[in-house]
Amino acid sequence: KSSNLKGYAPICLGLEDFYTRRLYLRIQDCFGRPIASAPDAWFDVVERYSNDSNKTLHRTTKTSKCLNLGSYNYLGFAAADEYCTPRVIESLKKYSASTCSVRVDGGNTKLHVELEELVARFVGKPAAILFGMGYVTNSAIIPALVGKGGLIISDSLNHNSIVNGARGSGATVRVFQHNNPAHLEEVLREQIAGGQPRTHRPWKKIIVIVEGIYSMEGELCKLPEVIAVCKKYKAYTYLDEAHSIGAVGKTGRGVCELLGVDPADVDIMMGTFTKSFGSCGGYIAASKEIIDHLKHICPAHIYATSMSPPAVQQVISAIEVILGEDGSDRGAKKLAQIRENSNFFRSELEKMGFEVLGDNDSPVMPIMLYNPAKMPAFSRECLRQKVAIVTVSFPATPLLLARARICISASHSREDLIKGLEVISKVGDLVGIKYLPVEHEKTTS
Protein backbone atom coordinates (compact mmCIF):
# COMPACT_ATOMS: atom_id res chain seq x y z
CA LYS A 1 0.00 0.00 0.00
CA SER A 2 1.18 3.48 -0.65
CA SER A 3 1.20 6.18 1.99
CA ASN A 4 2.01 9.85 2.20
CA LEU A 5 5.60 8.85 3.01
CA LYS A 6 6.56 8.34 -0.59
CA GLY A 7 9.26 5.76 -0.94
CA TYR A 8 8.95 4.55 2.61
CA ALA A 9 5.79 2.51 2.64
CA PRO A 10 6.77 -1.13 3.03
CA ILE A 11 4.65 -3.91 1.68
CA CYS A 12 4.30 -7.39 3.05
CA LEU A 13 4.93 -10.05 0.44
CA GLY A 14 3.21 -13.20 1.60
CA LEU A 15 4.61 -15.92 3.76
CA GLU A 16 8.02 -17.51 3.64
CA ASP A 17 9.74 -20.39 5.33
CA PHE A 18 12.32 -18.95 7.71
CA TYR A 19 15.27 -20.96 9.02
CA THR A 20 13.33 -21.76 12.13
CA ARG A 21 10.75 -23.32 9.79
CA ARG A 22 8.22 -20.79 11.01
CA LEU A 23 6.18 -18.61 8.75
CA TYR A 24 6.84 -14.92 8.56
CA LEU A 25 5.92 -11.93 6.51
CA ARG A 26 8.60 -10.66 4.22
CA ILE A 27 8.55 -6.91 4.35
CA GLN A 28 9.75 -4.90 1.39
CA ASP A 29 9.57 -1.25 0.66
CA CYS A 30 7.41 0.03 -2.16
CA PHE A 31 10.26 -0.38 -4.66
CA GLY A 32 10.29 -4.09 -3.92
CA ARG A 33 13.59 -4.04 -2.03
CA PRO A 34 13.87 -6.05 1.16
CA ILE A 35 13.99 -3.57 4.01
CA ALA A 36 17.39 -4.80 5.13
CA SER A 37 19.07 -3.74 1.91
CA ALA A 38 17.16 -0.55 1.22
CA PRO A 39 19.38 2.54 1.10
CA ASP A 40 19.89 4.40 4.36
CA ALA A 41 18.45 1.55 6.43
CA TRP A 42 20.14 0.92 9.76
CA PHE A 43 21.79 -2.20 8.38
CA ASP A 44 24.25 -0.40 6.14
CA VAL A 45 27.99 -0.36 6.64
CA VAL A 46 29.56 1.73 9.39
CA GLU A 47 32.84 3.17 8.27
CA ARG A 48 34.13 3.98 11.70
CA TYR A 49 33.04 4.73 15.23
CA SER A 50 33.93 8.15 16.46
CA ASN A 51 36.28 8.85 19.36
CA ASP A 52 33.63 10.45 21.53
CA SER A 53 32.80 7.32 23.52
CA ASN A 54 30.80 5.94 20.63
CA LYS A 55 27.97 8.39 21.10
CA THR A 56 28.25 9.23 17.43
CA LEU A 57 28.82 7.00 14.43
CA HIS A 58 30.47 7.62 11.07
CA ARG A 59 28.58 6.01 8.24
CA THR A 60 29.40 5.42 4.62
CA THR A 61 26.06 6.50 3.19
CA LYS A 62 24.53 9.94 2.96
CA THR A 63 24.69 10.58 6.67
CA SER A 64 28.30 11.21 7.52
CA LYS A 65 28.02 11.44 11.30
CA CYS A 66 25.03 10.85 13.51
CA LEU A 67 24.02 10.60 17.15
CA ASN A 68 24.07 6.96 18.17
CA LEU A 69 20.99 5.97 20.18
CA GLY A 70 21.30 2.30 19.31
CA SER A 71 24.55 1.07 20.86
CA TYR A 72 24.82 -1.14 23.97
CA ASN A 73 27.77 0.97 25.03
CA TYR A 74 26.06 1.80 28.30
CA LEU A 75 29.01 3.23 30.19
CA GLY A 76 30.89 4.67 27.22
CA PHE A 77 33.82 2.22 27.51
CA ALA A 78 33.62 1.27 23.81
CA ALA A 79 35.99 4.05 22.80
CA ALA A 80 39.41 5.35 23.63
CA ASP A 81 39.57 5.61 27.42
CA GLU A 82 42.37 7.23 29.41
CA TYR A 83 42.67 4.21 31.74
CA CYS A 84 41.58 1.23 29.61
CA THR A 85 43.14 1.95 26.21
CA PRO A 86 46.86 2.12 27.17
CA ARG A 87 46.45 -1.16 29.08
CA VAL A 88 44.66 -2.80 26.15
CA ILE A 89 47.48 -1.74 23.80
CA GLU A 90 50.04 -3.11 26.26
CA SER A 91 48.20 -6.46 26.39
CA LEU A 92 48.10 -6.58 22.59
CA LYS A 93 51.88 -6.18 22.48
CA LYS A 94 52.41 -8.76 25.20
CA TYR A 95 49.92 -11.46 24.19
CA SER A 96 48.82 -10.52 20.60
CA ALA A 97 45.22 -10.35 19.38
CA SER A 98 44.55 -14.05 19.79
CA THR A 99 45.88 -16.87 21.96
CA CYS A 100 45.35 -19.19 18.96
CA SER A 101 44.81 -21.88 21.60
CA VAL A 102 42.09 -23.32 23.76
CA ARG A 103 42.05 -22.59 27.50
CA VAL A 104 43.14 -26.11 28.41
CA ASP A 105 46.08 -26.07 26.00
CA GLY A 106 48.17 -22.92 26.00
CA GLY A 107 45.32 -20.40 25.83
CA ASN A 108 45.13 -19.74 29.57
CA THR A 109 46.95 -16.44 30.13
CA LYS A 110 47.42 -14.60 33.42
CA LEU A 111 44.78 -12.14 32.17
CA HIS A 112 42.12 -14.84 31.80
CA VAL A 113 42.69 -16.06 35.35
CA GLU A 114 42.70 -12.48 36.66
CA LEU A 115 39.40 -11.66 34.91
CA GLU A 116 37.69 -14.79 36.21
CA GLU A 117 38.63 -13.81 39.77
CA LEU A 118 37.59 -10.21 39.21
CA VAL A 119 34.20 -11.11 37.67
CA ALA A 120 33.47 -13.48 40.55
CA ARG A 121 34.31 -10.74 43.07
CA PHE A 122 32.32 -8.12 41.11
CA VAL A 123 29.10 -10.11 40.87
CA GLY A 124 29.44 -11.66 44.34
CA LYS A 125 29.86 -15.34 43.49
CA PRO A 126 32.69 -17.71 44.51
CA ALA A 127 33.96 -18.46 40.96
CA ALA A 128 33.55 -17.62 37.28
CA ILE A 129 34.39 -18.96 33.81
CA LEU A 130 34.89 -16.97 30.58
CA PHE A 131 33.70 -17.61 27.04
CA GLY A 132 34.63 -15.95 23.75
CA MET A 133 31.08 -14.86 22.99
CA GLY A 134 28.02 -13.95 25.04
CA TYR A 135 25.69 -15.82 22.70
CA VAL A 136 27.74 -18.98 23.06
CA THR A 137 27.83 -18.59 26.83
CA ASN A 138 24.08 -19.24 26.94
CA SER A 139 23.79 -21.65 24.05
CA ALA A 140 26.69 -23.83 25.21
CA ILE A 141 26.35 -23.58 28.98
CA ILE A 142 22.68 -24.44 29.29
CA PRO A 143 23.20 -27.89 27.69
CA ALA A 144 26.22 -28.40 29.98
CA LEU A 145 24.05 -27.76 33.05
CA VAL A 146 20.91 -29.69 32.22
CA GLY A 147 20.02 -32.47 29.79
CA LYS A 148 17.62 -35.32 29.23
CA GLY A 149 15.46 -35.89 32.30
CA GLY A 150 15.83 -32.26 33.34
CA LEU A 151 13.31 -29.44 33.10
CA ILE A 152 13.97 -25.89 31.93
CA ILE A 153 11.35 -23.25 32.65
CA SER A 154 12.08 -20.20 30.54
CA ASP A 155 10.56 -16.70 30.43
CA SER A 156 8.57 -16.34 27.19
CA LEU A 157 10.66 -13.34 26.11
CA ASN A 158 14.11 -14.76 26.83
CA HIS A 159 16.87 -14.05 24.30
CA ASN A 160 17.43 -16.32 21.32
CA SER A 161 20.75 -17.59 22.77
CA ILE A 162 18.80 -18.95 25.76
CA VAL A 163 16.11 -20.43 23.52
CA ASN A 164 18.76 -22.21 21.45
CA GLY A 165 20.66 -23.41 24.51
CA ALA A 166 17.44 -24.79 26.01
CA ARG A 167 16.40 -26.47 22.77
CA GLY A 168 19.83 -28.03 22.30
CA SER A 169 20.04 -29.36 25.85
CA GLY A 170 17.67 -32.31 25.41
CA ALA A 171 15.81 -31.24 28.57
CA THR A 172 12.07 -30.69 28.58
CA VAL A 173 11.36 -27.00 28.04
CA ARG A 174 8.35 -25.15 29.37
CA VAL A 175 7.72 -21.44 28.98
CA PHE A 176 6.08 -19.12 31.51
CA GLN A 177 4.36 -15.82 30.79
CA HIS A 178 6.82 -12.98 30.55
CA ASN A 179 7.96 -11.68 33.94
CA ASN A 180 5.01 -13.30 35.68
CA PRO A 181 6.17 -15.15 38.84
CA ALA A 182 2.60 -16.34 39.58
CA HIS A 183 2.48 -18.09 36.21
CA LEU A 184 5.98 -19.47 36.82
CA GLU A 185 4.62 -21.07 39.99
CA GLU A 186 1.63 -22.47 38.09
CA VAL A 187 3.94 -24.07 35.51
CA LEU A 188 6.17 -25.48 38.26
CA ARG A 189 3.23 -26.98 40.14
CA GLU A 190 1.95 -28.63 36.96
CA GLN A 191 5.34 -30.23 36.41
CA ILE A 192 5.78 -31.60 39.90
CA ALA A 193 4.08 -34.86 40.84
CA GLY A 194 1.14 -34.28 43.13
CA GLY A 195 1.36 -30.52 42.61
CA GLN A 196 2.91 -30.15 46.05
CA PRO A 197 6.15 -28.36 46.72
CA ARG A 198 9.01 -30.53 47.99
CA THR A 199 7.31 -33.82 47.16
CA HIS A 200 8.60 -36.48 44.79
CA ARG A 201 9.08 -35.09 41.31
CA PRO A 202 9.98 -36.74 38.06
CA TRP A 203 12.75 -34.30 37.12
CA LYS A 204 16.45 -34.81 37.77
CA LYS A 205 16.88 -31.05 37.93
CA ILE A 206 14.78 -27.95 37.33
CA ILE A 207 16.30 -24.67 36.08
CA VAL A 208 14.35 -21.42 35.80
CA ILE A 209 15.89 -18.97 33.32
CA VAL A 210 15.25 -15.22 33.40
CA GLU A 211 16.97 -12.00 32.25
CA GLY A 212 17.99 -9.06 34.45
CA ILE A 213 16.77 -6.47 31.93
CA TYR A 214 14.78 -7.86 29.02
CA SER A 215 16.56 -6.76 25.88
CA MET A 216 13.51 -6.00 23.77
CA GLU A 217 11.31 -4.75 26.61
CA GLY A 218 13.65 -2.64 28.73
CA GLU A 219 11.95 -4.18 31.73
CA LEU A 220 13.56 -5.24 35.02
CA CYS A 221 13.11 -8.85 36.09
CA LYS A 222 10.84 -9.48 39.07
CA LEU A 223 13.82 -11.25 40.57
CA PRO A 224 12.89 -11.37 44.29
CA GLU A 225 9.54 -13.01 43.42
CA VAL A 226 11.15 -15.43 40.94
CA ILE A 227 13.70 -16.46 43.57
CA ALA A 228 10.97 -17.03 46.19
CA VAL A 229 9.15 -19.40 43.80
CA CYS A 230 12.40 -21.21 42.90
CA LYS A 231 13.27 -21.72 46.57
CA LYS A 232 9.80 -23.06 47.32
CA TYR A 233 10.04 -25.66 44.55
CA LYS A 234 13.79 -26.30 44.84
CA ALA A 235 14.54 -25.12 41.33
CA TYR A 236 17.85 -23.54 40.28
CA THR A 237 17.80 -19.92 39.08
CA TYR A 238 19.76 -18.86 35.99
CA LEU A 239 19.99 -15.08 35.47
CA ASP A 240 21.18 -13.52 32.18
CA GLU A 241 22.56 -10.08 33.03
CA ALA A 242 23.68 -9.12 29.51
CA HIS A 243 21.92 -5.74 29.70
CA SER A 244 22.02 -5.14 33.43
CA ILE A 245 25.53 -5.93 34.64
CA GLY A 246 27.52 -2.71 34.84
CA ALA A 247 24.49 -0.71 33.73
CA VAL A 248 22.32 -0.67 36.85
CA GLY A 249 22.85 -0.80 40.61
CA LYS A 250 24.64 1.83 42.70
CA THR A 251 28.04 0.26 42.06
CA GLY A 252 27.13 -1.33 38.71
CA ARG A 253 26.56 -4.82 40.08
CA GLY A 254 23.35 -5.31 38.13
CA VAL A 255 19.80 -6.19 39.09
CA CYS A 256 20.73 -7.99 42.31
CA GLU A 257 22.18 -4.77 43.66
CA LEU A 258 19.33 -2.65 42.25
CA LEU A 259 16.58 -4.88 43.63
CA GLY A 260 18.28 -5.76 46.93
CA VAL A 261 18.78 -9.45 46.09
CA ASP A 262 21.62 -11.41 47.68
CA PRO A 263 23.72 -12.89 44.81
CA ALA A 264 23.94 -16.09 46.88
CA ASP A 265 20.24 -16.59 46.07
CA VAL A 266 20.92 -16.76 42.32
CA ASP A 267 22.53 -20.08 41.43
CA ILE A 268 23.94 -19.23 38.01
CA MET A 269 24.75 -15.70 36.91
CA MET A 270 25.43 -15.16 33.24
CA GLY A 271 26.59 -11.93 31.63
CA THR A 272 28.27 -10.51 28.56
CA PHE A 273 31.20 -8.13 28.15
CA THR A 274 29.76 -6.61 24.95
CA LYS A 275 27.70 -3.93 26.57
CA SER A 276 28.70 -2.04 29.72
CA PHE A 277 32.35 -3.12 29.48
CA GLY A 278 32.93 -2.18 25.82
CA SER A 279 34.53 -5.50 24.91
CA CYS A 280 33.43 -8.96 23.78
CA GLY A 281 32.91 -12.35 25.42
CA GLY A 282 30.72 -13.68 28.20
CA TYR A 283 30.89 -15.26 31.66
CA ILE A 284 29.15 -17.59 34.04
CA ALA A 285 29.56 -16.96 37.77
CA ALA A 286 28.43 -19.58 40.26
CA SER A 287 29.65 -21.87 43.05
CA LYS A 288 33.13 -23.39 42.75
CA GLU A 289 31.52 -26.81 42.19
CA ILE A 290 29.43 -25.61 39.24
CA ILE A 291 32.35 -23.73 37.66
CA ASP A 292 34.68 -26.73 38.09
CA HIS A 293 32.04 -28.95 36.54
CA LEU A 294 31.74 -26.59 33.55
CA LYS A 295 35.52 -26.39 33.15
CA HIS A 296 35.65 -30.16 32.89
CA ILE A 297 32.69 -30.92 30.71
CA CYS A 298 31.65 -27.85 28.68
CA PRO A 299 32.79 -28.30 25.04
CA ALA A 300 32.82 -24.52 24.46
CA HIS A 301 35.47 -24.26 27.20
CA ILE A 302 37.49 -27.29 26.16
CA TYR A 303 37.41 -26.95 22.37
CA ALA A 304 37.09 -23.21 21.66
CA THR A 305 39.92 -20.70 21.43
CA SER A 306 40.06 -18.59 24.57
CA MET A 307 38.94 -14.95 24.70
CA SER A 308 41.18 -12.50 22.90
CA PRO A 309 43.68 -11.12 25.51
CA PRO A 310 43.14 -7.42 24.63
CA ALA A 311 39.37 -8.03 25.01
CA VAL A 312 40.06 -9.58 28.42
CA GLN A 313 42.24 -6.63 29.43
CA GLN A 314 39.52 -4.19 28.33
CA VAL A 315 37.05 -5.82 30.73
CA ILE A 316 39.56 -5.92 33.61
CA SER A 317 40.30 -2.22 33.17
CA ALA A 318 36.62 -1.25 32.78
CA ILE A 319 35.69 -3.10 36.00
CA GLU A 320 38.60 -1.45 37.80
CA VAL A 321 37.25 1.96 36.72
CA ILE A 322 33.72 0.99 37.81
CA LEU A 323 35.04 -0.09 41.21
CA GLY A 324 37.19 3.04 41.58
CA GLU A 325 40.33 0.90 41.62
CA ASP A 326 41.87 3.18 38.99
CA GLY A 327 42.12 5.77 41.76
CA SER A 328 39.41 8.05 40.31
CA ASP A 329 35.68 8.57 40.76
CA ARG A 330 34.99 8.22 37.00
CA GLY A 331 33.21 4.89 37.48
CA ALA A 332 30.82 6.26 40.10
CA LYS A 333 30.15 9.29 37.87
CA LYS A 334 29.40 7.10 34.85
CA LEU A 335 26.94 5.04 36.88
CA ALA A 336 25.17 8.13 38.20
CA GLN A 337 25.12 9.58 34.67
CA ILE A 338 23.58 6.57 32.93
CA ARG A 339 20.84 6.52 35.55
CA GLU A 340 20.15 10.24 35.22
CA ASN A 341 20.25 10.07 31.40
CA SER A 342 17.95 7.05 31.23
CA ASN A 343 15.36 8.45 33.62
CA PHE A 344 15.40 11.87 31.91
CA PHE A 345 14.99 10.41 28.42
CA ARG A 346 12.24 8.01 29.44
CA SER A 347 10.18 10.65 31.23
CA GLU A 348 10.54 13.13 28.32
CA LEU A 349 9.40 10.50 25.79
CA GLU A 350 6.41 9.71 27.96
CA LYS A 351 5.52 13.39 28.27
CA MET A 352 5.57 13.65 24.49
CA GLY A 353 2.92 10.93 24.25
CA PHE A 354 4.98 7.95 23.14
CA GLU A 355 4.22 4.51 24.47
CA VAL A 356 7.50 3.55 26.09
CA LEU A 357 8.11 0.09 27.54
CA GLY A 358 10.29 -0.79 30.48
CA ASP A 359 11.15 0.49 33.92
CA ASN A 360 12.91 3.45 35.45
CA ASP A 361 16.70 3.08 35.66
CA SER A 362 16.72 0.79 32.62
CA PRO A 363 18.84 2.24 29.78
CA VAL A 364 16.85 0.15 27.27
CA MET A 365 13.78 2.04 26.06
CA PRO A 366 11.52 0.58 23.39
CA ILE A 367 9.07 3.01 21.75
CA MET A 368 6.11 1.09 20.38
CA LEU A 369 5.47 1.40 16.63
CA TYR A 370 3.23 -1.73 16.45
CA ASN A 371 2.91 -1.79 12.66
CA PRO A 372 6.16 -3.14 11.15
CA ALA A 373 5.44 -0.96 8.12
CA LYS A 374 6.42 2.01 10.29
CA MET A 375 9.89 0.65 11.08
CA PRO A 376 11.82 1.69 8.00
CA ALA A 377 10.06 5.05 7.83
CA PHE A 378 10.91 5.75 11.46
CA SER A 379 14.57 4.74 11.30
CA ARG A 380 15.26 6.37 7.92
CA GLU A 381 13.65 9.65 8.87
CA CYS A 382 15.62 9.72 12.14
CA LEU A 383 18.79 8.87 10.27
CA ARG A 384 18.13 11.62 7.74
CA GLN A 385 18.15 13.98 10.72
CA LYS A 386 21.38 12.42 11.96
CA VAL A 387 20.04 10.25 14.76
CA ALA A 388 20.70 6.50 14.47
CA ILE A 389 18.02 4.33 16.09
CA VAL A 390 17.48 0.56 15.93
CA THR A 391 14.00 -0.66 14.99
CA VAL A 392 12.97 -4.26 15.60
CA SER A 393 10.16 -6.66 14.81
CA PHE A 394 9.81 -10.36 14.05
CA PRO A 395 11.59 -12.65 14.80
CA ALA A 396 13.01 -10.61 17.72
CA THR A 397 9.47 -9.57 18.76
CA PRO A 398 5.98 -10.66 17.67
CA LEU A 399 5.37 -9.32 14.15
CA LEU A 400 2.75 -6.74 15.09
CA LEU A 401 4.64 -5.45 18.11
CA ALA A 402 7.35 -3.62 16.17
CA ARG A 403 9.31 -1.05 18.11
CA ALA A 404 12.16 1.41 18.01
CA ARG A 405 14.65 0.48 20.70
CA ILE A 406 16.64 3.31 22.23
CA CYS A 407 19.77 2.49 24.23
CA ILE A 408 21.02 5.28 26.46
CA SER A 409 24.67 5.72 27.41
CA ALA A 410 26.46 7.53 30.22
CA SER A 411 28.46 9.21 27.46
CA HIS A 412 25.42 11.04 26.05
CA SER A 413 25.40 14.69 27.07
CA ARG A 414 22.19 16.55 27.93
CA GLU A 415 22.47 18.31 24.53
CA ASP A 416 22.69 14.93 22.75
CA LEU A 417 19.60 13.72 24.55
CA ILE A 418 17.64 16.88 23.77
CA LYS A 419 18.61 16.62 20.11
CA GLY A 420 17.51 12.97 20.09
CA LEU A 421 14.19 13.86 21.69
CA GLU A 422 13.50 16.66 19.20
CA VAL A 423 14.15 14.39 16.24
CA ILE A 424 12.13 11.49 17.67
CA SER A 425 9.24 13.85 18.38
CA LYS A 426 9.22 15.21 14.80
CA VAL A 427 9.52 11.77 13.25
CA GLY A 428 6.91 10.40 15.67
CA ASP A 429 4.45 12.98 14.33
CA LEU A 430 5.39 12.17 10.75
CA VAL A 431 4.82 8.43 11.03
CA GLY A 432 1.95 8.74 13.52
CA ILE A 433 3.13 6.88 16.60
CA LYS A 434 2.14 9.13 19.49
CA TYR A 435 -0.58 7.12 21.14
CA LEU A 436 -1.01 8.47 24.63
CA PRO A 437 -2.78 11.70 25.50
CA VAL A 438 -0.32 14.43 26.38
CA GLU A 439 -1.11 16.06 29.70
CA HIS A 440 -1.39 19.80 29.24
CA GLU A 441 -0.61 22.15 32.06
CA LYS A 442 -3.76 23.06 33.91
CA THR A 443 -4.62 26.72 33.53
CA THR A 444 -6.05 28.57 36.51
CA SER A 445 -9.20 30.54 35.82
Cβ(397)–Cβ(63) below 8 Å: no
Size of the residue set binding ligand PMP (CB under 6 A): 14
Could you say whether residue 132 binds ligand PMP (CB under 6 A)? no
Residues 172-211 that bind ligand PMP (CB under 6 A): 211
- Picking from 391, 357, 397, 398, the residue whose alpha carbon sits closest to that of residue 377 is 391
Assess 242 for contact with ligand PMP (CB under 6 A): yes
Tell me if the bond preceding 395 is cis, omega within 30° of 0.
yes
Residue whose CB is nearest to ligand PMP in the complex, by number: 134
- The nearest distance, CB 104 to ligand PMP, in angstroms, is 22
Q: Per CB under 6 A, which region of 60-68, 96-104, 131-139, 358-366 contacts ligand PMP? A: 131-139
Residues 6+ apart with CB under 8 A from 42: 70, 379, 383, 388, 389, 390, 391
What strands lie across the sheet with 127-131, from one edge to the other?
A: 127-131, 282-286, 268-272, 236-240, 206-211, 151-155, 172-176
Going edge to edge, which strands form the sheet with 390-392? 364-370, 402-407, 390-392
Figure out which of the listed residues 274, 337, 342, 362 binds ligand PMP, where binding follows CB under 6 A. Answer: 274
Binding residues among 14-53 for ligand PMP as defined by CB under 6 A:
none
362 binds ligand PMP (CB under 6 A): no
Query: What letter would DSSP give residue 384?
Result: H
* Closest residue by Cα to residue 394 from 5, 75, 4, 12: 12
| Least distance to ligand PMP, CB of residue 395, Å | 14
User: Does 134 interact with ligand PMP (rule: CB under 6 A)?
Assistant: yes
> Which of the 8 DSSP states describes residue 120?
H
Considering the complex, state which of residue 274 and residue 317 has its C-beta at the smaller distance from ligand PMP.
274
- Window of 107-115, 238-246, 397-405, 419-427 that interacts with ligand PMP by CB under 6 A: 238-246
Nearer to ligand PMP, 8 or 273 (CB): 273
**In the complex, least distance from residue 381 CB atom to ligand PMP, rounded to whole angstroms:** 25
Closest approach of ligand PMP to the CB of residue 329, in Å: 28
Q: Strand, helix or coil at 274? A: coil
Alpha-carbon distance of 129 to 116, in angstroms, equals: 6
Using CB under 6 A, which of the segments 106-114, 130-138, 224-232, 392-400 binds ligand PMP? 130-138
Which part of the chain contacts ligand PMP (CB under 6 A), choosing from 129-137, 378-386, 395-403, 419-427? Answer: 129-137
Q: Which residues have C-beta within 8 Å of that of residue 384, sequence separation ≥ 6? A: 40, 62, 63
Among 28, 272, 317, 337, binds ligand PMP (CB under 6 A): 272
CB atoms inside a 10 Å sphere around CB 100: 10
Verify binding: residue 133, ligand PMP, rule CB under 6 A: yes
Contacts of 61 (CB under 8 A, 6+ apart): 39, 40, 44, 45
Binding site for ligand PMP (CB under 6 A): 133-135, 138, 159, 161, 211, 215, 240, 242-243, 272, 274, 282
